[in-house]
Amino acid sequence: IAGITQAPTSQILAAGRRMTLRCTQDMRHNAMYWYRQDLGLGLRLIHYSNTAGTTGKGEVPDGYSVSRANTDDFPLTLASAVPSQTSVYFCASSEGVAATDTQYFGPGTRLTVL
Amino acid sequence: GNSVTQMEGPVTLSEEAFLTINCTYTATGYPSLFWYVQYPGEGLQLLLKATKADDKGSNKGFEATYRKETTSFHLEKGSVQVSDSAVYFCAPLLTGGGNKLTFGTGTQLKVEL
């Protein structure tokens, strides 16, 4: 069982370029999430999806978009990357949105925007 | 909204020492509480959780008790090992409109021989 996979593992990107970070889970979880991790700030929620076909904004959504066409995939797109989007990005999923549902995290994508 | 305050690291201990990492939170209502661990170069893994007041979560020798009266969820381990070296995150969960974890800044633990 792979759990959550993310691609690419790392990427260096020129400012202004478009980039899509991929996330796939094989646990048939209903809910999925995107976080960014920055030194000294912990993890912050970018976007989330409670179920396929729905998405919502997290704490820091500006400059990012997501889609949830099916249960397994939850891509994150940077339409025009800026250096402040340099970060480590983690995808997560949970079975549902109950208070007892644990979020499981992928290995992360390290993105550098120059 | 939710917020979390964790003790600042890095924390350096000798092997077999006692560990406490303090965590206090502010939240609307009574959130579920989680501790996650991040080993070097990896994603976050669930360490333990507690879903209601006075619950004790435990795993791999780590424990934390949900203290509603002090809004705290301190992480403890009686005897740490070198393999426990990692960054530890306390995170209350806000429900309603989604399942949103609020992470603290993390506490780095380094265990030396």
pLDDT tens-place string over residues B43-96: 899 999 999 899 999 999 999 999 999 999 999 999 999 999 999 999 998 766
pLDDT at site A74:
98
Chain A residues in contact with B44 (beta carbon < 8 A): 43, 90, 92, 105
Local confidence band at A1 (pLDDT 50, 70, 90 cut-offs): low
Distance, CA of B80 to CA of B18 (rounded, Å): 7
Phi, psi (5° rounding) for residue B77? -150, 135
Mean pLDDT of chain A: 94
Tell me the nearest-neighbour CA distance from A63 into chain B, angstroms.
20
On whether any CB of chain B is under 8 Å from the CB of A54, the answer is no
Beta carbons of A113 and A81 less than 8 angstroms apart: yes
pLDDT at B9 over 90: no
Q: How large a percentage of chain A has pLDDT more than 90?
A: 88
pLDDT digits (tens, 9 = 90+) for A52-101: 999 999 989 999 999 999 999 999 999 999 999 999 999 999 998 887 88
| CA distances, B87 to each of B12, B37, B38, B90 (Å) | 12, 6, 5, 10
Among chain B, residues having any CB pair with chain A shorter than 8 Å are 4, 31-32, 34, 36, 42-46, 49, 51, 89, 93, 95, 97-101, 103-106
